Amino acid sequence: MRLEWEALPEEITVRYIKMGYEDRSGEKRVMVVVTTLLDPEEHEATEVIDLYARRWDIELKFRDVKTTLKMEEFAVKSPAMAHKTLLMMMISYNQLRSLMQRGAAVADKPLAEMSLQGTLDAVNTSHPLFRGLGLHHRKRARRREEVIATCAAKVVDVRPFRREPRALKRRPKPFQYLTAARHVFREIPHKESYKKAA
C-alpha cells in the first residue's frame, strides 16, 4: 500500500466540468464532474456528464439482476458451492443477455429497452416447445427464432422521471426465524413472543 502511494505523481492535471440539470422532482440542480479526459473537443462536456449520470444504471442493473435471477441469497453450505452457484448464475445471465441482444436486433431497439424479466419468462415458458425436436434441426431453429421474436416484444417502458422506491408490497408472515437446525429448533407457542425471542 505504501509503495503504491509513493508511486503516485505529486501533481495531476484534471478537468472541472460544472453543469446544471433537472432532477426527478423537477428541481434545478448543479452537477460537478472532475475528470482526466482533458481534451474538450474529443470528449465534450455533455458527453462526460451523461456518462457520469449513467453510472447509476450499472448499480440498478446489478440490483435488478440479483432480484430477477434470485441471487440475493444462496442456499449453500460451503464457499466452493457458492462459487459454483455464482458461476452458473453468470452463465445463465450471459445466455439471457445474448437472447436480449438478438431480440433487440430483431425489434430494431436499443438493448437498454429490452426487459430482463420478460426474456426470462419467455425462456421459462418455451421449454415445452422444444420437446421431441432433438433430431429435427430445422424445426428447432424455427422454434428458436420464435422465442427470439417473443423476446423482441418484451420491452421496458422508458419513464425517465418516474420514482421507483424499493419497498415491500406485503407484510412478512409472523413466523420465527429458523436460528437452529430443524431437528433442534423449538417453536415459541405464542406469536406475541416472537419479537421478544428474536
Q: pLDDT tens across 77-135, in order?
A: 899 999 999 999 999 999 999 999 999 999 898 888 888 889 999 998 888 888 888 78
Rounded Cα–Cα distance for residues 1 and 7 (Å) = 10
Q: Cell 426487459, residue? A: 115
* Of residues 71, 142, 153, the one with CA closest to residue 107: 153
**Distance between CA 102 and CA 145 in Å, rounded?**
10
Helix ranges (H only) for 42-168 are: 45-68, 79-107, 116-125, 137-153
Q: Could you give the CA distance from residue 121 to residue 177 in angstroms, rounded to a whole number?
A: 31
Beta-bridged to residue 21, according to DSSP, are: 29
**pTM score, whole prediction:** 0.63
Q: Are 158 and 183 in contact (CB under 8 A)?
A: no
Q: What is the mean pLDDT of residues 10-26?
A: 84
Query: Residue 52 corresponds to which amino acid?
Result: Y
Query: What single DSSP character describes residue 171?
Result: P
Over residues 130-173, the pLDDT tens digits come to: 888 878 888 888 888 999 999 899 888 777 666 667 787 888 78
Q: How far is CA 172 from CA 9, 159, 176, 192, 196, in A?
A: 54, 30, 11, 15, 17
- Distance (Å, whole) CA 190 – CA 173: 14
Task: Read off the DSSP letter of residue 15.
Answer: E
Q: How far apart are CA 123 and CA 90, in angstroms?
A: 16
In the predicted model, is pLDDT for residue 51 greater than 90?
A: no
8-state DSSP, 187? -
